[in-house]
Structure 1
């Protein structure tokens, strides 16, 4: 059964800098995801991660447990899973979006003055995922 699993989390400040953390997360995710037929997108801004993962439910549940235990993440909030016929992010083992302008506009239209994915309702999460899918990097 294919699902979409999305979550938001706060980045835990550590000795490593942000670019090193992002590089490590992306390289590890891309290799692991390619081996396990997982697809998705990662966005980071203002101390907050948002990640959308698509794949088989059992594999994603195990991966999500690893994320919960990852010391780089705190205050992890999982959104409702969506069942999929096929993955939407199948072009990417892990797409990274860095278009702050479009994301800022999206959140401003919702009345939020900064990137706050934890404030999104389920419909808004799906709208946000659609935006991330459309953004070309």
Structure 2
């Protein structure tokens, strides 16, 4: 049975350009994920990443080890994994979500002034993931 693995991290500020970092992350992720039947979504704002990956547990564990070694990330927080009956992000080997307005409204509704992925919990995680799917399905 596939699992859903989600994490939040803080971007390590270096000399590299943010847009180049995102492009590099997405390029490598899409190739790896496509080859291993993994699916996911990435969101970046206010110096923080949120990523949710879906697929085979063993492969996701290997991938997450690579993410933990990636020097672009620090303060990585892995949320509780969940077994899933269906892949929610099946249309994307890896998709970068861009609609900051709806996501900002979501976090404001949770009581935060900006993107705070570390504050996601069991209750609002499902709502947040549903929002990411809705935003990107509307943009297809």
**Secondary structure of residue in 1 paired with 2:20:** helix
**Secondary structure of residue in 2 paired with 1:135:** helix
Instruction: Summarize deviations over 1:35-80 as a string: whole Å, max 9, x none.
Output: 0000010000000000000000000011001000100000000111
Match of 2:108 in 1: 108
Which stretch shows the higher mean deviation, 118-127 or 27-36? 118-127
After the TM superposition, which parts of structure 1 deviate over 3 Å for at least 4 consecutive aligned residues?
A: none
Distance (Å, rounded) in 2 between the aligned partners of 1:44 and 1:86: 25
Distance (Å, rounded) in 1 between the aligned partners of 2:86 and 2:101: 29
Number of residue pairs matched by the alignment: 137
TM-score (norm 2): 0.96
Match of 2:44 in 1: 44
Which ranges of structure 1 fall in alignment gaps of 5 or more residues? none
User: Following superposition of structure 1 onto structure 2, how do residues 54-73 of structure 1 map, counting pairs within 5 Å?
Assistant: 54-73=54-73
